[in-house]
Structure 1
């Protein structure tokens, strides 16, 4: 179960997971620090993708919608992650329910991300599509190997 959570958590990085929400309840300093650190990594990932995909000025509107979807997913997953870290004395049943919430939120978030990415991808030049295909395939492969980048 823990290995699955690590893999799932790694997958969320592409979609902006674990970002710290402004309205988040107080959490342990380590969890808050991890969430803040991840928020910075989400922004770094957005900036890196912007550069790698060679986003043009004409594509900025679609790009911003995609980046916003990444941030929103991060906020949602960040809240769920903090709840999970705070629930150290959960029963096995509650642990499974909480994990189900995380998995469902990830699936919902990926659907939103795809919906935001599709118009952007459709605006890409053939070169940009090739870059996107390679970039996302390579990034996804790292998560399949245990999230090591």
Structure 2
């Protein structure tokens, strides 16, 4: 019975995809724009959630708020830059492979530049931290973010041994 129900639901959902009329496909650009706005809003919310999490986790003091705000502003700016670049990338549907690679290079460079700005903004904050706060920062930045978010540099898997530690020849 369950198999039959699953097959029926699958068949109906597939047939619905093929039964679209030209009128319903004209709504696609509006749906895409709404979807992109939703993605942007979620990305902005993710940045704000991360800022709030770090503020709480690092136990930022009132005396550190100026340095903290500079760091948080860089996080927001980096998020805005990356959102803009990814929106531009999604908007270009018919680009050449070369232009696609150029866009990817631009995104990668923006990420590297943003990371440098983030380090520069974090340095004064880190320098102002107590020893306990520094331990918290060291631990927090090595852990995965809360709520299932992924750390951009860690997959949760242990790194494979490097070739020079295993290859003695």
TM over 0.5: yes
Number of the residue aligned with 1:34: 39
**Equivalent residue for 1:80, pick from 85, 93, 96:** 85
CA contact (8 A) 1:65 1:116 kept: yes
The count of residues paired between Structure 1 and Structure 2 equals: 120
Q: Secondary structure at the match of 2:143?
A: helix
Extract unaligned runs of 5+ from structure 1: 1-26
SS in 1 for 2:86: helix
Is 1:49 the counterpart of 2:47? The answer is no
The CA deviation at 1:139 is 3.3
Kept in 2: contact 1:31–1:85 (CA 8 A): no
Question: What CA distance in whole angstroms lies between the structure 2 residues aligned with 1:80 and 1:142?
Answer: 20
Q: Does 1:126 align with 2:98?
A: no
CA distance in 2 between counterparts of 1:142 and 1:40 reads 16
Counterpart of 1:145 in structure 2 is 155
Q: When the two structures are superposed, what TM-score results if normalisation uses the length of structure 2?
A: 0.67
Alignment counterpart, residue 95 of structure 1, candidates 93, 100, 105: 100
SS at 2:144's partner residue?
A: helix
Equivalent-residue separation in structure 2 for 1:102 and 1:75 (angstroms): 12
SS at match of 1:54: coil
Question: Which protein is richer in helix relative to its size?
Answer: 1
TM-superposed deviation, 1:90? 1.6
